[in-house]
Amino acid sequence: MRTRNAVARDYYGILGVSREASDDEIKRAYRKLARQFHPDVNPDPEAQEKFKDINAAYEVLSDDRKRQIVDLGGDPLAPGGGGGAGGPGGPGGAGPFVGFQDIMDAFFGGAAGGARGPRPRTRPGADAILRLELDLHETAFGVEAPITVDTAVLCTTCSGAGTAAGTHLATCEACAGRGEVQSVQRTFLGQVVSARPCTVCQGYGTTIPHPCPTCAGDGRVRTRRSLTVKIPAGVEDGMRIRLAQQGEVGPGGGTAGDLYVEIHERPHDVYSRKGDDLHCRVTVPMTAAALGTRLTIKTLDSEETVDVKAGTQPASTLRLRARGVPHLRGTGRGDLYVHLDVRTPTKLDPDQEKMLRDFAKTRGEEVAELSKQGGFFSRMRDAFNGHA
Ligand SMILES: [Zn+2]
Ligand SMILES: [Zn+2]
């Protein structure tokens, strides 16, 4: 361990500070390196060696007397190097291993040694989330939906106290009610006080000598609860509705958390939804598109008669204002878009075909006649069907 004592070690170099560095700069440099190389945060074996050097450098440079020896060319940690019988933690920083959090606490005046006190037995409960599937009609117009939740409720036997009838909490003997046990380490940083939660009482400072037989001391019991949730009109897929304090009751009967109901909208057979607008497709024959027609459209909550103008082109859209989903929190509704699929007839009997050809002729539209046998497309079709 002490093989390097022949040559004075470069303590400034180890911390990466100049010989003129202030106490503050040395402290900052050490803290930064400790974050990087402390074995609690860096499992690399080389890091452990490096961390020992960093500790040694800090031990020396943070101590005016030892730093002076370094500045005179000596090594205060070397045997007979003028450092005396080692500072706190023994020479070379090889003393008790100080935990990373304790180092940080020592620098920042963290919780260790401070008055943390026992943790309360009564704590707020957790939030819960529940998925609710609804039809488009329900999300559009709102619904009162019955739901069932598995949750924790207050134990009625002990009203949350956790103690059996007629008994009380007892002060923990192991920590005298403080909820934590402190240990003092003497290290090169000076005295480092670390506090750990008391394992006997789990940090509560009290124990329950006679737990409530219903909840075993937890103050709450698990149960299945039914309630009704009011879904407002216009909610959307993925939205969450918050039911204040309908979540789990906390340990020791603490305030219940919130329950979130997440809306999942089932896809609709006819309508697809984009925001508050709805879209649907309606097929109209080519003749109706050409001549114009009147359609009856079933909306979410009504029947509407709409006119398809003569000469309507394929992929045209009709818009029915305010026949979509009502806006959430507000007035008005989205629109309903009716997309028209103009259908070309596929099977014509000879009379129909002749009429269409005559019709084309009167319009001066040239229609080349495909030969019954052969022809590119029928050959393709035969090839697909396996007739070579
Ligand atoms: Zn109980
Ligand atoms: Zn205790």
3-state helix, strand, coil in the chain (%, to 5): 25, 25, 50
Q: Are 145 and 231 in contact (CB under 8 A)?
A: yes
Distance (angstroms) between ligand 2 centre and the Cα of 195 equals: 12
Largest CA distance in the chain: 121
Find where tokens 């700069």 sit: 25
pTM: 0.61
The helix (run of H) or strand (run of E) holding residue 26 is: helix 23-37
Q: What are phi and psi of 377, to 5 degrees?
A: -70, -40
- Asked if residue 198 belongs to a known ligand binding site, the reply is yes
Q: Is residue 206 part of a domain?
A: no
pLDDT at 271 over 90: yes
- Asked if residue 280 belongs to a known ligand binding site, the reply is no
Q: Is residue 311 part of a domain?
A: yes
Residue 147 shares a structural domain with residue 275 = no
Where do the H-state alpha helices sit in 258-373? 286-291, 350-362
Give the confidence band of 386 by pLDDT, cuts at 50, 70, 90.
low
Distance (angstroms) between ligand 2 centre and the Cα of 198 equals: 5
Nearest listed ligand to the Cα of residue 202:
2
Nearest listed ligand to the Cα of residue 253:
1
> 337-351 b/e with 16+ CB inside 10 Å = b?
bbebebeeeeeeeee
Q: How many domains does the chain have?
A: 3
Look up the CATH number of the domain holding residue 290: 2.60.260.20
Q: Is residue 87 part of a domain?
A: no
- Per-residue pLDDT tens digits for 246-257: 999 999 999 999
- Per-residue pLDDT tens digits for 42-95: 888 888 888 889 988 998 998 888 899 888 888 888 775 444 433 343 344 444
Q: Is residue 56 part of a domain?
A: yes
Nearest listed ligand to the Cα of residue 162:
1
Distance (angstroms) between ligand 1 centre and the Cα of 7 equals: 69
- Asked if residue 201 belongs to a known ligand binding site, the reply is yes
Q: Is residue 93 part of a domain?
A: no
Residue 130 shares a structural domain with residue 254 = yes
Q: Is residue 185 part of a domain?
A: no
Residue 306 shares a structural domain with residue 368 = yes
Q: Are 160 and 217 in contact (CB under 8 A)?
A: no
Distance (angstroms) between ligand 1 centre and the Cα of 231 equals: 34
Residue 387, pLDDT score: 56
CA 230 to each of CA 135, 151, 242, 325, 386: distance values in angstroms, whole numbers, following the listed order = 15, 19, 11, 17, 60
Structural domain boundaries, residue 290: 269-383
